[in-house]
Structure 1
């Protein structure tokens, strides 16, 4: 079990990660890597493609390295940090929705609607929604909602990531000195979170479930 409530370990370069990398605006320009991974699905040949940035290329390399070394934590970080990695490592169908109410979506539909709930900012996991606000507000970190993740890997190679957004000691004013560069303890849950399930493939992992927990009772 790996609990990432504190500073996440970086893999590779320390390039700043933003929501523009992880959850970009609707696609505009073709790129070869995306085309190779969308052909034959939901009319992919007729769809405009996204531009592959240097940040995306870096995260693709990170993912490939993590796949080779069987490092799911490193793979998950790259997966959460770039749409291009998700293009390559998402299953042909994804179960999406609330617990007990999930529906199967085609890979293309799931990706096009930017359903993936997480993003990365520097070394932290945040909700994709607040990461977009972060970019739109010129990098105002006050809008970010940080996320605690817990990774469990099964003996058959499957990996489940439970995630929970909240207010952490890092968010307090001022934060406790012992927090340092980490998040510190979870102070208050701000959402119900959910889980992501990845199954092993011959070369790596692929996302098969994106399931939200029932809403918090107020």
Structure 2
């Protein structure tokens, strides 16, 4: 916006030069292209920014929800809307996102750094009230879900660890899916969690959080 106004201002400064004899053509002919240029600049300045044009109503609602969650310092609410909205993920991601694959003992197998715009590996999606993997371990496995663990440090850093689970369908009533099962089909004790297969790290930034690291743990053989 500032650049467009500066351009329009510079064009208006050209007019007195022509009027004072610096141009060979008449005043009317010299003003016409300048006036057209000013009009073009003013029309461009009055148009909404491109980012505003692509925001549909669901985007706006999601961004408002994320903003409220940030102000309330409610990470869980923030994370849920972060999952479902690409616009929220774009706004609340670090400019550089570290993607690393680690071995069973924490040894680095591979590591890459992505610009936020080119990062496309976010692993979690939501179905109703349940977390699911964007890519299940077995292609087409619609019954695979994710078990998440949230840990928040005194510095307000947040770690979200995830592991894959299935459910036995033995519900006590309501909408729950039953008891969680591990990759071998064995029941997971109540309150227990499997070793994580991935970890998402969020750091505090600008009165909220931003995704900065996506870590994957190589599966134990």
1: CA distance, partners of 2:96 / 2:122: 14
Higher relative CO (Cα under 8 Å, sequence separation at least 6) belongs to 1
Gaps of at least 5 residues in structure 2 are 1-48, 103-107, 185-194
Structure-to-structure mapping, 1:151-190, within 5 angstroms: 151-169=150-168, 175-178=169-172, 180-189=174-183
SS in 1 for 2:149: strand
Inter-partner Cα distance in structure 1 for 2:177 and 2:199: 20
RMSD, aligned α-carbons:
2.6
**Structure 1 position 180, deviation (Å):** 3.0
Q: CA deviation at 1:53?
A: 4.0
- In structure 1, how many angstroms separate the alpha carbons of the residues matched to 2:89 and 2:147? 20
The reply on whether 1:54 has 2:68 as its aligned counterpart is: no
**Partner residue, 1:32:** 51
> 1:195 aligns to what SS in structure 2?
strand
Residue 203, structure 1, aligned to residue 207, structure 2: yes
1:147 shift after superposition: 0.7
- 3-state SS of paired residue (2:64): helix
Q: Is residue 120 of structure 2 the alignment partner of residue 121 of structure 1? A: no
Change (3 A) 1:61 1:183: farther
SS of aligned partner of 1:189: coil
Look up the match of 2:79: 76
- C-alpha separation in 1, matches of 2:200 and 2:209: 12
Q: Does 1:214 align with 2:208?
A: no
Tell whether the 8 Å contact from 1:147 to 1:163 is kept in structure 2 after alignment: yes
Q: Deviation at 1:144?
A: 4.4
| TM-score where L is the length of structure 2 | 0.62
Q: How many pairs align? A: 155
Moved over 6 A (4+): none
**Other-structure match for 2:146:** 147
Match of residue 98 from structure 1 = 101
1:183 and 1:195, CA in 2 relative to 1: closer, same or farther beyond 3 A? farther
TM-score (norm 1): 0.63
Query: Could you list the per-position Cα deviations for residues 65-106 of structure 1 after superposition, in whole angstroms to 9, with x for gaps in the alignment?
Result: 100000000000011111111000000111113122222222
Matched-pair contact (CA < 8 Å) for 2:133–2:144: yes
SS at match of 2:150: strand
Where in structure 1 are there 5+ consecutive unaligned residues? 1-29, 36-50, 135-141, 170-174
**The structure with more helix, counted as a fraction of residues:** 2
Q: Secondary structure at the match of 1:156?
A: coil
- Inter-CA distance 146–52: structure 2 relative to 1 (3 Å threshold): farther
Q: Is the 8 A contact 1:94 1:210 kept in 2?
A: yes
